[in-house]
Amino acid sequence: MIEQKLMSTRGRTQSMTRFILLAAALVISPCSVARSQPTFTTGIDLVRFGVTVIDREGNFVTDLVEGDFEIQEEGVEQSISYFVGPNTLKATSPPLHLGLLFDTSASMETDLRLARTAAIKFLNTVRQAEDITLVDFDTEVRVGRYRQSDFPRLIERIRGQKPDGWTALYDALGVYLDGAAAQDGQKILVLYTDGGDTRSELSYGEALDLVKASDVTVYAIGFLKNDPGNARLMRRVRTLAETTGGDVFLPLTADPLDEIYAQIAEEIAARYSFGYASTDTRTDGAWREVRVKLSSMRSELDGATVRTRRGYFGPYRPPES
C-alpha cells in the first residue's frame, strides 16, 4: 500500500483548505508533447481530456483516430498535441489511476454487503489501473492508496467495512481530489452513496468547484431509493458526474450494481485520451468552455454522443507588481 490515513474533521478540513488554495491558483498540470510515442511527464502545459463516444444504438465507438475529432476552446479550434485511443498499445497509454468513493454510513446497513461484493467484482475487471485509491466515509473520512500488488489488502479493507455514523460525502470528495491533484494520467473516480450529505464542512457548491478544477472523471452511483425528498440530491449527483464527462446511475435497489459496475468498466476501456496546448495565453484563471466534436463523415456516427468534461479553468498567475 502506498499510503493510508484517517481524516478527522479538523484534519480533512485542513487538507481540503490546501486543495482549495491549490485549485484557486488554477495552474494547468504539465504534460509533455511527444507525437510519435506519447509520454506523460513534465513538459509543456497541456489541457487534457478523456473522451467517450457512444453511437446512436448506445454502443461505445473505439476505432476512431485523431483526425475524427475537432476541439474548440471558447469557439477557437485547437490542435491536438497527443492522442491515445482505446486500441493503443498499453506502453503508450497514460497511466490509469482509479478511485473508489464508498459510503459506509449507518444508512448503508441493509445494502452494504451487496455493495461491497459488486465493488470487488468491478475492481477485478479493471486490472490495468496503476493504483487504486479507496476513500470510505461516514462521519469520518478514511483514505488509502493501493498498488496492484496490494490488491488483496484492498479487498480485505473493503470487506471489513462496517456501517456507522453520518454521511460526509462532500468532504470525502474533497479529500480524494486533494490526493488526485498530484497524479498524472487518467483519473477515474467511482462514487457510491445511498443518501444526502449530513456531515461535511464542504458545501455542495465548493465540492462542485473542486471537481471542475480537477481533471478527474466521475461515475456516480446514487442508490437513493424512490424518495421524493432525494430529488435535489439526484440533481446534484448527476451534475457532479456529467460536469466531468462521466455518467450517473440511479438504481432503485442494489440488485443491478453488478451490471452498473460492468458498464463503467467497459466505458473506461473505451475512452480516448488527448490533449492540446491552448492558443489562449491569458493567465487570468477564467473558466474556458471546451467542445469536442466528431469531424468524421462516417454514416454510422450520425447521432453519436461525445462525452467529456465541459471545460477547465485557465492558468492563473498574479500580475507583476
CA dist., res. 137 & res. 239, Å (int): 21
CB burial of residue 223 (10 Å; 0-12, 13-18, 19+): buried
Asked if residue 283 belongs to a domain, the reply is no
Provide the b/e sequence for 301-319 (b: ≥16 CB within 10 Å): beebebbbbebbbbbeeee
Domain assignment present for 111: yes
Three state DSSP letters for 227-250: CHHHHHHHHHHHHHHHHCCCEEEC
- The reply to whether 209 falls in a domain is yes
**298 belongs to a structural domain:** no
Is 157 within a domain?
yes
Distance CA 251, CA 304 (A): 25
Whole-number Å distance between alpha carbons of 187 and 96: 6
In a domain, 235, yes or no: yes
**Cell numbers placing 114:** 451487496
Q: Is residue 13 part of a domain?
A: no
**pLDDT, tens digit only, all 321 positions of the chain:** 665 665 554 455 555 545 544 544 443 443 433 333 344 343 457 899 999 999 999 999 999 999 999 999 999 999 999 999 998 866 678 899 999 999 999 888 777 888 889 999 999 999 889 999 999 999 999 999 999 899 999 999 999 988 899 989 999 999 999 999 999 999 999 999 887 788 899 999 999 999 999 999 999 998 776 566 678 888 899 999 999 999 999 888 778 999 999 999 999 999 999 999 999 999 999 999 999 999 977 888 899 999 999 999 999 888 887
CATH number at residue 132: 3.40.50.410
Alpha-carbon distance of 29 to 46, in angstroms, equals 7
Let me know if residue 122 belongs to a domain: yes
> Domains in the chain: how many in total?
1
Cβ atoms of 303 and 84 within 8 Å: the answer is no
Cβ-proximal residues to 92 (8 Å cutoff; 6+ apart), any chain:
37, 38, 84
Distances (CA, A) of 126 to 34, 121, 204, 295: 27, 9, 29, 31
User: How many residues belong to the chain?
Assistant: 321
All cell numbers assigned to 261: 459496475
> Cell 456501517, residue?
163
Q: Are strands 131-137 and 141-147 parallel, antiparallel or unpaired?
A: antiparallel
Q: Which domain holds residue 178?
A: 3-8+92-269
What amino acid is encoded at 18 in this protein?
R
